[in-house]
Structure 1
Amino acid sequence: MTLINELRTTTRRSSDLSKHSADVFAEAEVHTVRITRRDGEPLVLMSQREADARSVLLQFAADLITVTLGDEGTLASRMADRFQWMLALSPEDQATCAHDLVNAARASFATGQSYLATAELTSWRETATAIAAGLTSHPVEWLEDAERVERP
């Protein structure tokens, strides 16, 4: 199975890695580099950031699969059991969050762009954290006649 992400892979010979290592490393910071070898299977060189993003996406995929296989309650309630930070959201926001996370995951898997799912996940988690901390969208009450005070 070929992912779109593989289209962003550069192929280099192992001799390029030894002769032009700075160039190969610079490429690996931008996208995956496949290193071919005469005596063995090709190796892949990528940034730690990319490897971490793939790990996060795989863990998120595993969590989503676990949630979707359940049959008790709604998708939102099953996701709130798995992602307990969702409990800080209203029931309507939990449903919206569940829908948004599934769609972002599908887009990430279809395009090979892990940031789509991780950005959505992070955005919703930070929103839930802010709500739990008491930051809400209630209007701010401003003082009409603000009193000036001396600077200390």
Structure 2
Amino acid sequence: MTLINDLRATTRRSSDLSKHSADVFAEAEDHTVQITRRDGEPLVLMSQREADARALLLQFAADLITVTLDDEGTLSSRMADRFPWMLALSPGDQAQCAKDLVNAARASFATGQAHLAIAELTSWRETATALAAGLASYPVESLEWLEDAELVERP
């Protein structure tokens, strides 16, 4: 059974790794590379970023399974117990957050794209953090918007 779900994953021979290592490493920075060997099981080469994203997705999956096994309270209240930062959200936002996180996780699991769930989780957590810091207490009318913003070259 293979855990490589990346549609862009490529397969290379171990000899390619020794003869064209720069090319193989460049590929691995972009997507997962499976290295086949005559004398053993294939190996997988990926960036640390990709490995970290997959580990985060697995942890998130474990958290969601824990939440769904509990049968007391609503999904959003059970998720707020597991993710305490959700308590900074309004009850309506907690319900929307729970729904969005489950949907993003399902999409990530179905496509093998960890960033879908991780981005949704990060977005909601940062929103809760901003609300907890009081950033929502500023009335929109008090904000000063630049009418004619001028583009500036990057340094």
TM-score by length of structure 2 reads 0.87
Question: Against the structure 1 CA distance between its residues 40 and 18, is the aligned structure 2 distance closer, same or farther, given a 3 Å change threshold?
Answer: same
Give the total of aligned pairs.
143
What does 1:1-150 correspond to in 2, within 5 Å? 5-136=5-136, 139-140=139-140, 142=142
Equivalent position SS for 2:136: coil
CA contact (8 A) 2:6 2:113 kept: no
CA–CA distance in structure 1, aligned partners of residues 4 and 38 of structure 2: 26
CA–CA distance in structure 1, aligned partners of residues 141 and 104 of structure 2: 36
CA contact (8 A) 1:105 1:117 kept: yes
TM-score by length of structure 1 reads 0.88
CA–CA distance in structure 2, aligned partners of residues 64 and 22 of structure 1: 39
CA–CA distance in structure 1, aligned partners of residues 11 and 140 of structure 2: 56
1:1-49 Cα distance to aligned partner (Å, 9 max, x none)? 6678243211111111000000000000111111111111110000000
**Aligned residues: percent identity?**
87
CA–CA distance in structure 2, aligned partners of residues 4 and 48 of structure 1: 15
State the Cα RMSD in Å: 1.8
Rg larger in structure? 1
Shift of 1:139: 1.9
CA–CA distance in structure 1, aligned partners of residues 130 and 9 of structure 2: 39
Stretches of structure 1 that go unaligned for 5 or more consecutive residues are 143-152
Letter in 2 for 1:122: T
